[in-house]
Amino acid sequence: MTLLSTTTLSGSSTTISSIDQGYNNLFIQITGVTTASAGLIRYKINNVTGVTDFVLLDASVAASAATYSYLNTDPYLGWGNSPSTTSTNNSYVLQIYDYANSGKYKIYAANYGYEYSSGYEFGLHTGIYKENTAVSSINFFNGSTLNSGTVKIYGVK
């Protein structure tokens, strides 16, 4: 695994572009996120916004209740309860497989854990990015302002 970039989250969104295409998979770690107002951390691959371009299955646990969902939606890192806006007790991992291949759809998986107003939530989701293009950029946002957080992108051979 090789560290390709380290980026600080800030503003209404943060885009990481010109992702090195010389690896097989991407491993993306997001930590220490704080925001101006509540909202799940979301992402766009190659700035694609159409809800038909992502299909995901989500499983999460909060306050002893598990949920499972199948959605056609823009992807997010979390489910149900919004993370605390001030706590940095959060961690998100996003993996995108065969990301540089422009001849097929991309499979992705995410794990997450974060503190919210009355507890902790953790879960995972997996899905498919239904575009035959190499992943060259990722945009992170939550609908308000990203005050802090660090994104590290690793390439995996």
Number of domains in the chain: 1
Rounded CA-CA distance 59/64 in Å is 13
Rounded CA-CA distance 80/38 in Å is 12
Q: Terminal CA-to-CA distance of the chain, rounded, Å?
A: 7
Domain containing 132 equals 2-156
Return the CATH number at 145. Answer: 2.60.120
- Average model confidence (pLDDT) for the chain? 85
Q: What is the pTM of this model?
A: 0.86
Rounded CA-CA distance 52/87 in Å is 33
pLDDT (tens digit per residue) in 90-112? 999 999 999 999 999 988 898 98
